[in-house]
């Protein structure tokens, strides 16, 4: 009986290789110990389209680049691998981000200013692009706070 069952399984795998690959992929993503993938990019703009700060974080790397408002000069504030201590808690932090409930746009139309931010947040292959203009969104502020915790000198970063 076991040999017959094994034969059926092997026949099914041969007959439907795509289905087998999809099921294997889904199972591997749900197994404990499966690698969690996440990333966050935050870009800060002034005067509509002029980028002044770019921050990128993944499960093992961080980069922060400030841009001059004069002639496009850029200054790398950080571009390095994360330490073990910096990685601590990032998995739980990113898993807790409620991507589905976030809006695509947070905008305070009563304010006329020059600064806005964009966020690109991905967790386990699900991504959101979010525009933020003078609106406090605690989840987005927490993402920015993670960058400041890892690169504290970023708060005074300038590139003139």
In whole numbers, what is the pLDDT of the chain averaged over residues?
Answer: 83
SS3 state at 93: helix
The predicted structure's pLDDT at residue 151? 93
What pLDDT digit, counting tens, does each position of 2-42 carry?
A: 444 444 544 454 566 555 554 544 544 444 555 789 999 99
Across the chain, how many H-helices and E-strands are there?
Answer: 5, 7
Summarised one tens digit per residue, pLDDT across range 38-47 is 999 999 999 8
For residues 66 and 75, the answer to whether their CB atoms sit within 8 Å is: yes
User: Are 40 and 57 in contact, with CB atoms under 8 Å apart?
Assistant: yes
């Amino acid at each position: 009986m076991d040999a017959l069952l094994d034969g059926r399984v092997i026949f099914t795998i041969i007959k439907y290789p795509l289905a087998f690959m999809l099921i294997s992929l889904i199972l591997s993503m749900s197994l404990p110990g499966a690698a969690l993938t996440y990333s966050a990019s935050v870009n800060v703009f002034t005067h509509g389209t002029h980028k002044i700060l770019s921050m990128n974080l993944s499960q093992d790397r961080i980069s922060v680049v400030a841009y001059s408002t004069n002639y496009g000069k850029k200054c790398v504030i950080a571009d390095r691998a994360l330490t073990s201590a910096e990685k601590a808690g990032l998995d739980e932090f990113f898993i807790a981000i409620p991507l589905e409930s976030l809006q695509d746009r947070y905008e305070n139309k009563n304010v006329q200013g020059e600064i806005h931010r964009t966020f690109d947040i991905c967790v386990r292959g699900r991504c959101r692009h979010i525009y933020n203009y003078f609106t406090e969104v605690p989840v987005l502020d927490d993402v920015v706070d993670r960058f400041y915790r890892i690169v504290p000198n970023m708060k005074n970063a300038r590139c003139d």
